[in-house]
Amino acid sequence: MSNVVVKRFSHTDLDGVGSALLVAEVLQHLPESEFQEATFLPVTYCEPGNDGTIDPNVLQFLAANEEPVTHIFITDICPSEEVIAKLAAYCDERKIQWTIFDHHISSVGMNALFPDHSKITVADERTGLKHSATSVVMKELVGSMPTELFDDAYWGKLAHVADIIRCYDCWDWQSNPEAAYKEAAKDFNNLFYFFNFEKRCELMQQVMEQGLSYLDQYADIITAMGEKEAEYITKKLKHARFGSLDDYRFAYVHGEQYQSSLGNAMAQLIDPETEKVVDFSLVIVGRGVSLRAVKDDVDLSVIAKRFFNGGGHQKASGGVFFKQELYIHDQETGLESRLLVIE
């Protein structure tokens, strides 16, 4: 029996669950891999909307772990510099190997601070494609982007799964005419969120093992959900309101479902005050916020980090309100204020 014991941390969304499970699938299938008989402990899934960070989950592990862990992998989410330093010290003392696979621009700085352990890449230099955590895992562990492995007899099945997730998570399904997966990527995400979290993980594991054809049995559900999504977004757009933040104008609405699709639709609304397209959209879910933009001169990763203790990509980011719903804290000025007054 192998002495290799693996602990994983990841985000709760499609790319987070996908990348965490993909790590195990890839490592176990690498030729002559030490992971073929490894013990993979349950994944700790982290929702960054909870205190805005994965940090509490990692700190709890460092304080309470009793398992003989030999490897730690963190995917699609990145702890703070302070917590990574504690993780590094913990692993150095116990001779644990650790790696972070991420693709968020707000986390890229960790590459310089922890170059041997941080694999954070926003886009692939060779193909020019935007990265998701699943594609970072494939590139780092297998050596190629998923699209370059579609016809590979050994890796093809996993490559297609990794890329359909990448197409959705990076929004390539909508913005890139050459994307391998278009509506199918959105359909996969909608189906993923149709189930409770335990079932989502089971669904993803089956897709990893059997390939995308496993989703065919859910065709009727996917069709019904597409119709429901369109109706929901149309209704929400009628209730969109507009506000200002720093020098930006944004559209906002409360939205409990389809936040990504809703946010992208709202990011294209015309602001009645300026008669121009808004700079970004804000979908509010309790204390959580989802930000989307279509403009090239707006960097939401900067806005999310400054005002919402969050981060993400240039055109898609997330975070949380400060202390209570609708309040923000400007990290540049240190000022606390109420962003919105919603009647």
Q: What is the pLDDT of residue 343?
A: 40
pLDDT at 135: 98
- Cα separation, 208 vs 200, whole angstroms: 12
- Whether 257 maps to a domain, the answer reads yes
Same domain for 279 and 190?
no
Residue 237, burial from CB neighbour count under 10 angstroms (0-12, 13-18, 19+):
middle
pLDDT at 50: 44
pLDDT of residue 336: 76
* Pair (192, 317) in one structural domain: no
> For 108-145, how does the pLDDT look when each residue is reduced to its tens digit (9 = 90+)?
999 999 999 999 999 999 999 999 999 999 999 999 99
Q: Which residues 6+ apart lie within 8 Å of 225 measured at CB?
A: 187, 190, 191, 194
Among residues 182, 217, 252, which one ends one of the domains? Answer: 217
Q: Give CA 279 to chain center in angstroms.
A: 22
Beta-bridge partners for 119: 101
91 within some domain = yes
Question: Is 192 part of any domain?
Answer: yes
- Are 108 and 245 part of one and the same domain? no
For residues 269 and 193, membership in a common domain is answered with no
232 inside domain: no
- Measured in whole angstroms, the distance separating CA 30 from the mean position of its chain's CA atoms is 25
SS3 205: helix
* Residue 167 domain flag: yes
Whichever domain contains 28, its CATH number is: 3.90.1640
- Pair (98, 183) in one structural domain: yes
Indicate whether 258 and 177 sit together in one domain.
Answer: no
- Find where tokens 């009628």 sit: 238
Is there a single domain that holds both residue 306 and residue 252?
yes
In a domain, 17, yes or no: yes
Residues of the domain holding 206: 5-217
Q: Phi and psi for 121 in degrees, rounded to 5?
A: -135, 130
Q: Is 196 buried (19+), middle (13-18) or exposed (0-12) by CB count in 10 A?
A: exposed
Q: Are residues 203 and 300 in the same domain?
A: no
Domain total in the chain: 2
Task: Specify if 225 maps to a domain.
Answer: no
Q: What is the pLDDT along the chain (343 residues), one digit of tens a residue?
A: 579 999 999 999 999 999 999 999 999 999 989 999 999 999 999 986 544 579 999 999 999 999 999 999 999 999 999 999 999 999 999 999 999 999 998 899 999 999 999 999 999 999 999 999 999 999 999 999 999 999 999 999 999 999 999 999 998 998 889 999 999 999 999 999 999 999 999 999 999 999 999 999 999 999 999 899 999 999 999 999 999 998 899 999 999 888 888 999 999 999 999 999 999 999 998 888 999 999 999 999 999 988 888 888 888 888 888 766 677 777 778 777 777 655 4
Q: What is the CATH number of the domain that holds 314?
A: 3.10.310
Query: Other CB atoms closer than 10 Å to residue 253's CB: what's the count?
Result: 19
Q: Strands 336-338 and 327-329: what pairing?
A: antiparallel
Same domain, 37 and 99: yes
Residue 336 neighbours by CB distance under 10 Å: 11
Same domain, 260 and 182: no
H helix intervals, 42-196:
55-64, 81-94, 110-113, 133-141, 156-169, 172-175, 183-194
The alpha helices in 170-244, defined as continuous H runs, are 172-175, 183-194, 197-210, 219-237
**Residues 154 and 284 occupy one common structural domain:** no
Q: Is residue 140 part of a domain?
A: yes
- Say yes or no: 74 and 109 in one domain: yes
